[in-house]
Amino acid sequence: MLGLLLWSAALAAPPSGPVHPPEIDARLGSLIGDWTRAGKEASYRDSCVWYDRHAFVVCSLTDSAAGTRVEAIVGYAEKDRRFTYQSYGNNGASRVQYGYPAGDRGIVFTDEQQVEGKQARLTTKLLPQPDGRLRITLDRSVEGGPWQQAGEVYYVRRRPAAPGK
């Protein structure tokens, strides 16, 4: 009986330490920070923080000039061996994307959606830069056509990331 109680207590004990292997934790960790876009510092903010034990990155984006608010969750599903991105906007839109490692520290997400009434495949890359910026690119192929760059932005930090975060 005592053994059963000890076993039950061990299962109920909260796990300690990071949820993901160091390589996955590092990729997710590159998103952590208080970000803006050059020239939009007064109106654009995307603040990303760790959720409990580095399980996910939770981001809150506000673009007051456009009247936009978006909440996003970025994580990694060990069972499926892929990154996950879910977002919910104040216009009622939601989005789910799945992704994989890109380069040394980045993540690439894939998606399909309607663009101007046509089916399009999308890839979104989150690429940390050596100078501390975060490069975000969007490429698309509409109805099987050639891939084209549809967007590119650079996030810059509003303030430096705290040590060890």
Secondary structure (H, E, C), the chain = CHHHHHHHHHHHCCCCCCCCCHHHHHHHHCCCEEEEECCCCCCEEEEEEEEHHHCEEEEEEEECCCCEEEEEEEEEECCCCEEEEEEEECCCCEEEEEEEEECCCEEEEEEEEEECCEEEEEEEEEEECCCCCEEEEEEEEECCCCCEEEEEEEEEECCCCCCCC
**Between the CA of residue 92 and those of 87, 89, 102, what are the distances in Å?**
10, 6, 30
pLDDT tens-digit readout, 66-88: 999 999 999 999 999 999 999 99
Q: What is the CATH number of domain 18-157?
A: 2.40.128.20
Taking only the tens place, the pLDDT of each residue in 92-142 is 999 999 999 999 999 999 999 998 999 999 999 999 999 999 999 999 999
The two three-digit tokens of residue 110, written as one number: 């894939």
pLDDT at 15: 59
Distance CA 85, CA 90 (A): 17
Q: Write down the domain spans for the chain.
A: 18-157
pTM of the model: 0.83
